[in-house]
Structure 1
Amino acid sequence: IKEKDQTVLVYCWLELYWKDEFLTWNPAEFGGVEKIHVPASRLWKPDILVYNNANMNVKDNELDTFAIVNHRGDVILFRSMITDVTCEFSYRLKDFPFDQQVCFLTFASWSYDGSKIRLVPVNGTDNLELYIPNTEWKLTDFAVKVYEKMYDCCPNAPFIDITYFFALKRSPS
């Protein structure tokens, strides 16, 4: 947590699944090979971004990985991300050092509306499987919500985002 900058450094994993009809083959014609590992940089990928990324430099925040592609064109990509997200800290002197901050992390497509990309949280809910506790701040609440937003530019379909909310309580020392 960088209180002065009002940002939180987040390490997270994105699980992306999609179908690409151009990446299909008959395993019998390729020695029985049913799936391959391909550098993600060589594939089309959905443009899922962290909308409240503090520095908006996506390339610096993504670590390139390999995608798994099966012969039916199903693609699985696990992307690790390191990003600073904006988080407006509310300071109330009467609460210090027992203050609590609520931050959020919003994932959405930059260019595809909900008719083209369906965003769903992993396992349909919040997932803290890989959470690593912090000594100065304690995670007190975590929730996820899917939003549909209509924009004047694109009245035919909503844009979808997934927003993760997390509450942090200062651990006074």
Structure 2
Amino acid sequence: MIFFYIFLLLFPHQICQAEVNSNMEGKLLNDLLKDYNKMSRPVKNLSSPLEVTINIGTFESFDLDEISQTISVLLYITVSWVDKFLTWNPEEYSGINQTRLPAGQIWIPDLQLQHTPIGSGMLSTESNAILDSSGLVKHTPPGTIKTICQEMDLYKFPYDTQTCTIEHLSFTHPSNELFLRLGDFTLDQNTFQSQEWQLLNVTSRIEINYYGGPYPFQKHIICLMVKRIPNYYISNMIYPYAVLASVAGLGFTLPPDSADKLSLGVSVLLSTTFYAGMVADIVPVTTSMPFLGLYCLVMMSLVAFSVVSTLAVINLHNRGEAKMSYLQKTIFLKFLPSLLFMEKKSKPSQVQRNTNHKGKVQVETLNDSSKEVEQEQAKDWKFAAKVLNEFCMIIFSAGFFIIFAYTIFFL
């Protein structure tokens, strides 16, 4: 308490001056808003346009929803103009050169956010506007901008680069009444916060459009170019899909008579179908299929191919004594083995030598019995199954490595 009285004794002038300035600022606001009409354009000559300057500040957050194809951006935009009816002489108000007042109590440009899914997209009037003694008004509306990102190209998803626009325009004031001008443009990459996107470039421009009237309307366009960071999709979708498909490829190494050869492929096919459902939930419905969807479709097709080829191999292996046609012999015993550098191991014909009680050797003729012929046919079918298994494994491996290498290294 003692220090408070000492402060009053030493600095009485500063305390009184602060009280006077507070009273003067209140008087200034009352005088400015007296008889002020916020519905009319603040120009003394109605035929002259009002110049509105748009200054782009920093980007602090960015989010893009692929399903609804909308972007949410925390962007600071400062709109400034000169209000001829909000000027004063600072000498009459204790040297006050600047003040603040609610934006909802004065005229502000009716700039609307075009292509927005919520509300009318009008500039917010909930914050204060900074007012200069010369009538210069600066207004920075708060809030997150949410707009539709048109013409999204998702073919290279998740390696895609998107270009989205934020458009502001006035539908009621043509350019002869409200003239838009680009102001300062400051972009700091360090303030951009997004776990999924990298900001590449930001541009700003003014376009002129005609909407059926004699005078053109100006549109302020902010163009954002962002690149997706694909780490999440690589670690949670691309690599798991590749691992599942490679497990299905291991089924070719199992012998045809193995009980787990078919069940392995069916289990992997069910797992890939589950992952395909996850991809469908995050990819929007578009006319062109995203590459991630194409990747999953190819991998699932390869797994389905392994299951079908396994069924074919098991079928050939268990044909038994069925007679092989000429076409089947040509394909499975001649053409494919020569293509795969495989050769059937054939055993020489059995010759039976029986010795009688006199020591004479009797050479029996070749065993042309039906039983030996049937055994030879069964061996041909098993060899055909082995050839088909090797051929299908090569096709599967080639398709797998091509789609996986293209996804990782060439997109």
After superposition, the Cα gap between the structure-2 partners of 1:110 and 1:81, relative to the gap in structure 1 and judged at 3 Å, is farther
Q: Which residue in the other structure is 1:40 paired with?
A: 103
Q: 1:63 to 1:26 in 2, by over 3 A?
A: closer
* Corresponding residue to 2:133 among 67, 71, 75: 71
Higher relative contact order (CA 8 A, sep 6+): 1
2:303 maps to: none
Partner Cα distance (1:110, 1:15) in 2: 20
Gap runs ≥5 in structure 1: none
d(CA) in 2 for partners of 1:29, 1:63:
29
1:103 aligns with 2:161: no
The match for 2:380 is: none
How far apart are residue 105 of structure 1 and its match?
0.5
Query: What are the within-5 Å matches in structure 2 for residues 1-150 of structure 1?
Result: 1-58=64-121, 62=124, 64-88=126-150, 89-92=152-155, 95-123=156-184, 126-129=185-188, 131-150=191-210
Question: CA 1:5–1:90 in 2, change beyond 3 Å: closer, same or farther?
Answer: same
Alpha-carbon contact 2:112-2:170 (below 8 Å) kept: yes
Structure 2's unaligned 5+ residue stretches are 1-63, 232-411
Aligned-residue offset at 1:35: 2.0
The share of aligned pairs that are identical, in percent, is 25
Residues matched between the structures, number = 166
Please tell me whether the aligned partners of residues 54 and 85 of structure 1 are also in contact (alpha carbons under 8 angstroms).
Answer: yes
> Which structure has more helix as a fraction of its residues?
2
**SS at structure 1 position matched to 2:91:** helix
Is the CA contact (8 Å cut-off) linking 1:100 and 1:169 kept in structure 2? yes
The answer for the alignment partner of 2:27 in structure 1 is none
3-state SS of paired residue (1:118): strand
Q: Which of these two proteins has the greater Rg computed from alpha carbons?
A: 2
Counterpart Cα distance in 2 of 1:16 and 1:38: 15
Q: Is the 8 A contact 1:100 1:168 kept in 2?
A: yes
1:161 to 210, 219, 222: 219
| TM-score normalised over the length of structure 1 | 0.84
Deviation of 1:63 after TM superposition, in Å, equals 6.7
Distance 1:6 1:14 in 2: 23
SS for the counterpart of 1:134 is coil
TM-score normalised to the size of structure 2? Answer: 0.38
Q: Conserved in 2, the CA contact under 8 Å of 1:63 and 1:81?
A: no
Deviations 1:72-125 (A, max 9, x none): 222111222312110132221xx23211221110111231111122222332xx
More strand by share: 1
Read off the aligned partner of 1:64 and give its amino acid letter.
Answer: E
Residues 133 and 139 in structure 1, CA contact (< 8 A), matched pair in contact too:
no
SS in 2 for 1:58: coil
2:138 alignment partner AA: I
- Are the equivalent residues in 2 in contact too, given 1:14–1:81 (CA < 8 A)? no
1:13-69 deviation per Cα after TM superposition (whole angstroms, max 9, x unaligned) = 22111111221222232222222111111111011121122213436x837221121
Is the partner of 1:29 in helix, strand or coil?
Answer: helix
Give the counterpart letter for 1:110 in structure 2.
F
Q: Which residue of 1 aligns with 2:229?
A: 171
Deviation string for 1:126-167 (max 9, x for gaps)?
Answer: 532374131211122322221011221x20x31111111112
